[in-house]
Amino acid sequence: MKKWIFGLIILLLLDFGFAQHKLKVIDKKSTEEDHQAPEVTPVKNVLTIQVTKDQIHKGNLLLVNKDHPVPSGDEAAEAVNLSQHEELLNGFGLLDNTIKLSPSLAQKFTTMVEFAENDGVNHFLISSGYRDEKRQEELYQQMGADYALPAGYSEHNLGLSLDIGSTQAEMNSAPEGLWLKANAWKYGFVLRYPQDKTAITGILYEPWHFRYVGLPHSAIMKEKNFVLEEYLDYLKEQKTITTTIDHQSYQISYYPVSGSTTIPIPANERYEISGDNIDGVIVTLYS
Ligand SMILES: [Zn+2]
């Protein structure tokens, strides 16, 4: 009798264990089928891209300051004289007829000022855009080291920055300056030399100097109150961060690059890559 009960308990335990096991298997299957969890993505759906050292010096996130010169290359060579390109002059004026900007940056600026116009802010003026190294050297000689950077160390030589003015007042108090300070991040621009970051940037407060870095970077920098130096340090430290802006999710990762580096990218996902102009690249996945 006792043996029989013992045997039954063993059977029950075995059966229970088996049922548990079955349950687990079913669970796993349904997870794979229903949720398409990223961790079970088969290896074949991941592409790899080869990144070489020259990529460190290309892209929208390049850090240019007194320690990191503008890389040599012809990216900024596409800058055109805006006064000779009426099709690019929409919603803003020019301080003079020497101002140069790449058509793509002019277009991004136009998009931004169109939104400002909707808010009744519409007296924008570009006072400086792309400057070649010869022009920068002239400025440096004229202004001196306290007010200008040597040729090759100014963001204006990079072609992603512009000085924006207002026909109404100084940018510090003009509606144009206040609007940009609050809204430029939505269009990929950042105030590059804020008042509270002079110790980090090494540059005095410039309420007129805006730099294009693109979304989602400008949004994260605004949210965390980071200048570019801090943002790149943060990415390097975190290695990967994620964020969601306007229902779009992004995964941003930093990779050091020495020699040829292989980076995995999920297939069918849009991505962008930019160097930091120091020692690595930032890959932004639109997931
Ligand atoms: Zn400037």
Q: What is the distance in A from the centroid of ligand 1 to the CA of 83?
A: 19
Report the percent of the chain where pLDDT is more than 90: 73
**Domain span at residue 254?**
36-61+216-287
Indicate if the pLDDT at residue 20 is higher than 80. Answer: no
pLDDT band at 76 (very low <50, low <70, confident <90, very high): low
Quote the pLDDT of residue 130: 94
- 48 assigned to some structural domain: yes
Question: What is the Cα–Cα distance from 170 to 165, expressed in whole angstroms?
Answer: 7
Quote the pLDDT of residue 77: 66
Q: What is the distance in A from the centroid of ligand 1 to the CA of 245?
A: 28
- Cβ within 8 Å of residue 147, ≥6 positions away: none
Report the percent of the chain where pLDDT is more than 70: 83
What total of structural domains would you count in the chain? 2
Tens-digit pLDDT profile for residues 223-241? 999 999 999 999 999 999 9
Q: Which residues surround ligand 1, an ion (CB under 5 A)?
A: 163, 209
Query: Same domain for 195 and 252?
Result: no
Q: What is the distance in A from the centroid of ligand 1 to the CA of 129?
A: 8
Indicate if the pLDDT at residue 35 is higher than 70. Answer: no
- Decide which of 191, 212, 233 is a domain's last residue: 212
Query: Same domain for 185 and 234?
Result: no
Let me know if 206 is a catalytic residue: yes
Instruction: For residue 20, list its beta bridge partners.
Output: none
Indicate if the pLDDT at residue 246 is higher than 60. Answer: yes
In Å, how far are 49, 50, 52, 165, 223 from 55, measured between CA atoms?
12, 10, 6, 33, 28
Tens-digit pLDDT profile for residues 116-171? 999 999 999 999 999 988 888 999 999 888 778 888 999 999 999 999 999 999 99
Indicate if the pLDDT at residue 109 is higher than 50. Answer: yes
CATH of the domain at 241: 3.30.200.180
Catalytic residue among 206, 229, 230, 272: 206
Query: Same domain for 137 and 206?
Result: yes
Quote the pLDDT of residue 259: 87
- 9 assigned to some structural domain: no
- Decide which of 173, 190, 212 is a domain's last residue: 212
Q: What is the mean pLDDT of the segment spanning 64-84?
A: 86
- Decide which of 212, 234, 268 is a domain's last residue: 212
Q: What is the distance in A from the centroid of ligand 1 to the CA of 95?
A: 14
- 10 assigned to some structural domain: no
Quote the pLDDT of residue 74: 60
Query: Same domain for 87 and 204?
Result: yes
Query: Same domain for 201 and 232?
Result: no
Question: What is the Cα–Cα distance from 9 to 6, expressed in whole angstroms?
Answer: 5
In Å, how far are 33, 92, 106, 197, 208 from 226, measured between CA atoms?
41, 28, 25, 9, 18
Quote the pLDDT of residue 147: 77
Q: What is the mean pLDDT of the segment spanning 48-70?
A: 95
- 30 assigned to some structural domain: no
Q: What is the mean pLDDT of the segment spanning 31-58?
A: 71
